[in-house]
Amino acid sequence: MDFERRYSPLPRSADIDEFRQEVRKFYAAEGRSFPWRRNTSPYSVFVSEVMLQQTQVCRVEPKYLRWMREVPDFPSLAGLSTEGLLGLWQGLGYNRRALALRESALKVIKEHDGILPDDPERLRGFPGIGPATAASICAFAFNCPVVFIETNIRRVFIHFFFPEREAPVSDRDILPLVEASLHRESPRDWYNALMDLGTLLKSRIPNPNRRSRHYTRQARFEGSNREARGAILKALQKAPLQSAGELSENTGIDYRRIMRAAEELEKEGFLSAENGMFRLG
């Protein structure tokens, strides 16, 4: 694909048609293959989309494959213990997503007769599912022609349609282009193509998303509360019952940080505490 080619930010039909042809040509030649693209069942897509939130594909793929072997459907996920859940999730980070995933499985079973809804508005009522994830689930699981933006899609449209713009580009400027270019007969393949093109652009050119109004840098992990939370959960998987002092010693993290993180985890349902001792669940 010609990465120097540029188009008008106004959704003109000639530009949109040419852009769509270029993207589809690129995908036919260089599209990637992932297990969640080969298995597009609603459960498979739901799990992969939650895993891919804020986590690199190279880390997700082996975790996804193991997950699908051991937890192949919504009922098995709903019945998974907290210890088993976190053991499978370990290495993906942002552990709240694991709890949200199990809560979603319970919601599917209790409120939707075991069938994942194919409506973005209904999916937005699921734990940890925002507008973009809800729409992407519908596109990839049900091939629905929904319109949404995520980081790779944003990168593609900023690069090709706003190359000279100095002011930050808002998603409100991008959405009409996403809607105009959407391949409505095969939205699943179209969005896969945009995702792959956005990933390639990131490796080839300075990140266009830095010119987005919505661009933020990810906070440092080292020394953060996330680091303490993850260390506590990992330590309790090795030794199921520990005091805050033991957790501090075993993780090498300051006692006060351990206490703050442990109290948060207890409130969220990751931990239970009794007589100054913490355990999972």
Residue percentage of the chain with pLDDT more than 90: 61
27, 192 in Cβ contact below 8 A?
yes
3-state SS assignment for residue 129: coil
3-state SS assignment for residue 280: strand
* Dihedral sign from CA coordinates of 180, 186, 187, 191: negative
Flag whether pLDDT at 266 surpasses 90: no
Phi, psi of 37 (to 5 degrees): -85, -30
Q: How confident is the model at residue 127 (pLDDT cuts 50, 70, 90)?
A: very high
Summarize pLDDT for 139-155 with one digit per residue, the tens: 999 999 999 999 999 99
Q: How confident is the model at residue 217 (pLDDT cuts 50, 70, 90)?
A: low
Tally Cβ neighbours within 10 Å of residue 165.
12
pLDDT for the residue numbered 218: 59
pLDDT for the residue numbered 245: 83
Flag whether pLDDT at 32 surpasses 80: yes
pLDDT for the residue numbered 220: 63
Residue percentage of the chain with pLDDT more than 70: 98
CA distance 280 to 219: 27
CA distance 209 to 156: 9
Q: To 10 degrees, the CA torsion angle through 63, 64, 68, 73?
A: 120
Angle in degrees, 0-180, between the axes of helices 171-181 and 13-30, rounded to the nearest 10 = 80
Summarize pLDDT for 228-245 with one digit per residue, the tens: 888 888 888 888 888 888
Whole-number mean pLDDT of the chain?
A: 91
Instruction: State the amino acid at position 209 in one-letter form.
Output: N
More confident residue, 249 or 35: 35
pLDDT for the residue numbered 221: 63
CA distance 55 to 34: 15
Summarize pLDDT for 67-120 with one digit per residue, the tens: 999 999 999 999 999 999 999 998 898 888 999 999 999 999 999 999 999 999
CA distance 272 to 265: 9
pLDDT for the residue numbered 219: 58
Catalytic residue among 49, 61, 150, 263: 49
Q: What is the mean pLDDT of residues 254-281?
A: 86
Q: Clarify whether 266 is annotated catalytic.
A: no
140, 43 in Cβ contact below 8 A?
no
For the beta sheet containing 277-280, the strands, ordered from the edge strand earlier in sequence to the opposite edge, are 242-243, 277-280, 271-274
Six-digit token pair at 166?
């100095």
CA atoms within 13 Å, Cβ hemisphere of 166? 0
Q: How confident is the model at residue 179 (pLDDT cuts 50, 70, 90)?
A: very high
